[in-house]
Homo-oligomer: A and B are copies of this chain.
Amino acid sequence: MFSYLKRLLIGRPLKSTELGEQKISKTKALAILSSDALSSVAYGPEQILIVLISVGVAAFWYSIPIAVGVLILLVALILSYRQVIFAYPHGGGAYVVSKENLGMYPGLIAGGSLLVDYILTVAVSVSAGTDAITSAFPALHAHTVGIAVLFVILITILNLRGVTESASILAYPVYLFVLALFILIGAGIYQIAAGSVPPDLHAPIGTPIAGISLFLLLRAFASGSSALTGVEAISNAIPNFKDPAPNNAAKTLLAMGALLALLFSGIVYLAYYYGVAPKEEVTVLSQIAERTFGRNFMYFFIQGTTALILILAANTGYSAFPLLAVNLAKDKFIPRMFTIRGDRLGYSNGIIFLGVLSILLIIGFKGQTEHLIPLYAVGVFIPFTLAQTGMILKWVRQKPRGWQPKLMINTVGALISLVVSLMFFLTKFAQVWSVLVFLPLIILLFHRIKKHYDAVGDQLRITECAETLPIEGNVFILPVAGVTRVVENSLKYVKSLSPDQIIAVYVPFEREEEAIFEEKWGKWQPDVRLVTLHSPYRSIINPLSKFIDTVQRRAGESNYHVTVVIPQFIPKKAWHNILHNQSSLLIRAYLLRRRDVVVTTVPYHLTK
């Protein structure tokens, strides 16, 4: 049943050799790798307005200078990451760059924030995509959480199937989204130029506003910089590009930066000119589209492609998270299971973990994106800062030809990223404080896990010097519940091993049973020694394990080994198991964990 359902959902298993690395062209790469960054324009501008509205609608003109600041930040980041691409042509995620240049702990800080961040990518993108849908169809607004969860489940299943195969299909929505937004921005600017938009919808730039403060403006800037999340994606994926990979990746990065800059500026400008105010139930982008086109085909085209690209952006999390997890698991910082490839060759454990956690986040935050965005942005800018700082150290240490301008670019990138990170903590502490709690906890956990794996490795390694005494003989203990074929079967097996001693053990709960059973046993197996252990508290495990201790102490003196043989009958159908007390399972688990005895299970298969 379960395996049939699994086949149906994720397809037949693939051979390891079917893992072919497909090289992708620049146009395809631009589409696949920039969905996260480009989709950010769907919520980035809105974040600026949400801060400004606390002063008043007239303050909206500040969104223009703030947007200029964000664009400067974008240029710095693009140039910095261009250098990461050439320096780490095999893919330089913030984790690798920080670990190599700054050491283990900075690497873990970068890795830890990115892990959390990819979960937030999925939660934020899918929630924002759902918002785009519910803005278009307000009747669905009550079901936001359900729809978002459904999307996450869908994306998880697609990724378990192995979404890379169908990557080319994923390219269309991205280009459609870019096309849709260009049409929107073009039409909007045309309408403004043609004078068909009343010019009094907004306060002119420079209008003095009472109550505006530097703090508020920094806050709005920090919020707006959330539109830059996702620009690091290309630098992680260089090996997937066609040769010469670094050059192609760098060109793609520049193209993405240009597109992002144009779309971001256009949306901010239209929002300002139309005087759009952020609303609970309708996104800013939806309002702009409605003002420009009315609720016609173009409106639904824009909302549709927005929803699609946002949900695709979640997919970025699904490609990045499992790969980062593999790197961390190979370095022994997280459980080894994240390195296992599933039936379809994807890292299924990472994919499932990501899906489950983002669903929990969506449910926990009731699908309200705005509460997650600051956390998300901080989680991006901390690794940004660390990676750029790592690059600074790299240039200073290695001093390759022409390193001075490179150093300068990364220094500017590092400083700006650091300033943005600090701004988040200064201006939005109430929303991002949890980073300061969880990040140290995560790093502590990483550290503990690493310590454990190292200790296990030490203990399992075979060293020349360690000599152990040979086993001189074997004692077999056979707990029996009655005179049955199951016991007969186990006895026959134990006897065939011709051990030095066999002891059958019976644990009666009542004194009367004791004599009766001893007599019965004596008639049936006169040559096998029987020990009865009366258990007044009706526990089988306690007297049995005490008895094992005694036998072991005696056996240890002469270096004999103790084996407990458990006779177990296996019912024909699995549901029959609930009809039988599974004491053998409990005994086995307890003995293996608590005592140094070998546990042998002799099955007796029932046929009806």
Contact = CB atoms under 8 A, between A and B. Distances in A.
Copies in the complex: 2
Interface in A8-40: 13-17
A474 B453 contact: no
A471 B486 contact: no
A568 B581 contact: no
Contacts of A470: 492, 496
A455 interface: yes
Nearest to A492: B471
A570 interface: yes
B488 A462 contact: yes
Nearest to A582: B337
Q: Which of A341, A459, A510 has the most C-beta atoms of chain B within 10 angstroms of its own C-beta?
A: A459
Given A493-B561, A599-B600, A462 B474 contact: no
Contact of A496 (B343, B474, B597, B602): B474
Q: Which of A588, A596, A601 has the most C-beta atoms of chain B within 10 angstroms of its own C-beta?
A: A601
B608 A603 contact: no
A210 interface: no
Nearest to A539: B13
A602 to B, nearest CB: 5
Grouping DSSP codes into helix (H, G, I), strand (E, B) and loop, the A interface class, with mixed when no group exceeds half, is: mixed
A448 to B, nearest CB: 10
Q: Which of A343, A449, A462 has the most C-beta atoms of chain B within 10 angstroms of its own C-beta?
A: A462
A576 B485 contact: no
A571 interface: yes
Contacts of A341: 538
A449 B460 CA distance: 47
Nearest to A481: B460
Interface in A309-351: 335-337, 340-341, 343
A483 interface: yes
B579 A452 contact: yes
A573 to B, nearest CB: 9
Given A468-B492, A471-B496, A484-B460, A337 B581 contact: yes
Contacts of A337: 581
A607 interface: yes
A497 B485 contact: no
Given A509-B16, A598-B603, A601-B592, A569 B456 contact: yes
Contacts of A496: 470-474, 561
Interface string A446-483: 00010011011001111000101011111000000011
Nearest to A17: B536
A581 B581 CA distance: 28
A323 to B, nearest CB: 18
A538 B581 contact: no
A537 interface: yes
Contact of A592 (B468, B509, B568): B568
A460 B593 contact: no
B455 A484 contact: no
B335 A579 contact: yes
A578 interface: yes
Nearest to A340: B581
A605 interface: yes
A401 interface: no
A397 interface: no
A516 interface: no
A600 B603 contact: no
Contacts of A14: 537
Contacts of A279: none
A608 B485 contact: no
B486 A460 contact: yes
A214 interface: no
Contacts of A524: 462
A606 interface: yes
Nearest to A339: B581
A19 to B, nearest CB: 11
Given A15-B537, A336-B580, A468-B492, 13 more contacts: A16-B509, A16-B537, A335-B579, A340-B538, A459-B569, A460-B485, A460-B486, A466-B485, A470-B492, A470-B496, A497-B497, A570-B592, A601-B601
Interface of A: 13-17, 335-337, 340-341, 343, 449, 452-453, 455-456, 459-462, 466, 468, 470-474, 482-486, 488, 492-493, 495-497, 499, 509-510, 524, 536-539, 561, 563, 568-571, 574, 576, 578-581, 588, 592-593, 596-603, 605-608
19 contacts: A14-B537, A336-B579, A341-B538, A452-B571, A456-B571, A460-B482, A460-B484, A460-B486, A460-B569, A461-B484, A462-B488, A466-B485, A474-B496, A493-B561, A497-B497, A563-B600, A570-B593, A574-B593, A599-B601
